[in-house]
């Protein structure tokens, strides 16, 4: 039986070279997001409006309760890098996350760019608009900002508490839309 939902209200999900995306239980996809190729999500993830997750030239792995916010682009470099995002991580609006590792509980701020082979440690924050250069190593719980991004300080208790709640809040937000379906 065909899906009665008009095409404009469904996400674009495409296989590439015989490999289709796989989604964990409870994952919510916005109607106009695009997810293609070798992409695997854990449970309770959300991929928001206008986001593009392009596993056409590399593998992309998202842990559990990852949110990829509006307009973000996830990709990698052919035969060189893959993209791995840990549990409870947040990828901010219009961020570009390319061929790197984002560890558990990290946050990539709005409009930030994280390049190939960079590692963003657990609970770390890449500030809005920052550019993390190729191969940069960001330690656990560090706040980085600027162009190019540099360490500003350790994440304080208040921000750490806010970060810990972000992934669960996005799970709640996705539920609002799933309840309307």
Looking at residue 90, its pLDDT comes to 98
- Determine the 3-state secondary structure of 5 from DSSP: coil
pLDDT band (50, 70, 90) for residue 157: confident
Please give the share of the chain, as a percent, with pLDDT higher than 90.
85
- Determine the 3-state secondary structure of 175 from DSSP: helix
pLDDT at residue 178 is higher than 90: no
Q: Does the model's pTM come out above 0.85? A: yes
Taking only the tens place, the pLDDT of each residue in 88-127 is: 999 999 999 999 999 999 999 999 999 999 999 999 999 9
Going from the C-alpha of 58 to that of each of 2, 112, 150, 173, 174, the distances in angstroms are 30, 21, 28, 29, 27
> Burial level of 79, CB count in 10 A (0-12/13-18/19+)?
exposed
CATH superfamily of 7-180: Hexapeptide repeat proteins (2.160.10.10)
pLDDT band (50, 70, 90) for residue 17: very high
Could you list the beta-strand ranges (E) of the chain.
12-14, 28-29, 34-41, 46-47, 52-62, 67-68, 73-75, 83-85, 90-91, 96-98, 101-102, 107-108, 113-114, 119-120, 125-126, 131-132, 137-138, 142-145, 150-154
Q: In this predicted structure, which of 120-124, 141-145, 160-164 has the lowest mean pLDDT?
A: 160-164
- Provide CB contacts within 8 A for 170, sequence distance 6+: 46, 65, 67, 69, 90
For the chain, count helices (H), then strands (E).
1, 19
How far is it between the farthest Cα atoms of the chain?
Answer: 55
What are the boundaries of each domain within the chain? 7-180
């Amino acid at each position: 039986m065909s899906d009665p939902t008009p095409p404009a209200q469904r996400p674009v999900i495409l296989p590439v070279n015989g490999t289709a995306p796989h989604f964990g239980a409870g994952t919510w996809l916005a109607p106009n997001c695009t997810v293609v190729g070798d992409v695997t999500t854990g449970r309770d993830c959300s991929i928001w409006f206008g986001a593009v997750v392009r596993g056409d030239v590399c593998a992309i792995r998202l842990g559990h309760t990852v949110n990829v916010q509006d307009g973000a682009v996830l990709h990698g470099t052919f035969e060189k890098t893959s993209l791995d995002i840990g549990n409870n991580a947040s990828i901010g609006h219009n961020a570009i996350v390319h061929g790197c590792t984002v560890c558990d509980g990290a946050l990539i701020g709005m409009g930030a760019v994280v390049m190939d082979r960079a590692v963003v440690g657990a609970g770390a924050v890449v500030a809005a608009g920052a550019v993390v250069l190729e191969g940069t190593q960001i330690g656990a719980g560090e706040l980085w900002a600027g162009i190019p991004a540099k360490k500003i300080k350790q994440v304080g208790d208040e921000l750490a508490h806010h970060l810990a709640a972000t992934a669960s809040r996005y799970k709640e937000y996705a539920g609002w839309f799933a309840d309307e379906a």
